[in-house]
Amino acid sequence: MVAGILYLITYASSIPAALLLGSTLDTPGYILGAGADGQVRLAGLFDIVNGLTAFGTAVALYSVVRRQHEGFAIGFVASRLFEAAILFVGILSVITIATLRETGAASADPAALGAVGTSLVALYKTSFVLGTGICALNAALLGWLLYRSGLVPRAISVIGLIGAATFTSYLVGYVMGVTGPGTPWQAIGVAPIFVWELALGLWMTFKGFRAPAVAALGFDVVDEAGASVTAPAAVATKAGAA
């Protein structure tokens, strides 16, 4: 349940951040003129929440999914930490832009300050794409772990694995300079990840993990009547062989 709530917070905090920033930082001379500093700083705060809860989801899930495959579980935690670290680079860029606009506009050389602002905006946009692009890696790792263990419906896991492939294709295209934000390629690449994280968060929050699958991983599970839940033989055999 904790992991599900954190997933939903991650999901919910990323959307307001994107909406608040919008095209604000694209305004020519933003750093030199009147700017919506409160809006930019609030977006930075939402991104901080996004980064922290992203790592929190990995910590919350690790103790369970490591029973399926410890190496993949560690990889999932590392990928979420890496994702948060890259997002924080973008956060630093946004906060720095607002700070420079407030304190440096009157004293610094306008041309130099404008160049610095443009560089920071570019850094933010790149870190946002690459940071969120790490979702492809952690979707592949967690999707495989959940598919093999059967902790959630396999349809959800498959969406995550599909999203990992489509998002990776977009990320490669972005790095190679053949696509970018706002393109159909981005929409197709991001959509399965969008659905994956929402579906996973909702399922874990309101349904939780499937009891037989949890029991197959070696945990003691009891049903609502207080009786012990045992894993079906096929599930237990698959978990033991993984």
Quote the pLDDT of residue 117: 82
Q: Which residue has the higher pLDDT, 146 or 180?
A: 146
What residue has token string 């990320």? 171
Q: What is the greatest pairwise CA distance in the chain?
A: 73
Tell me how far apart the alpha carbons of residues 25 and 55 are, in angstroms, rounded to a whole number. Answer: 27
pLDDT one-digit tens code per residue, 146-171: 999 999 999 999 999 999 999 999 99
Quote the pLDDT of residue 132: 81
Smallest CA-to-CA distance from 18 within 186, 138, 176, 158 is with 186
CB 130 within 8 A of CB 122: no
Mean pLDDT of 172-180: 91
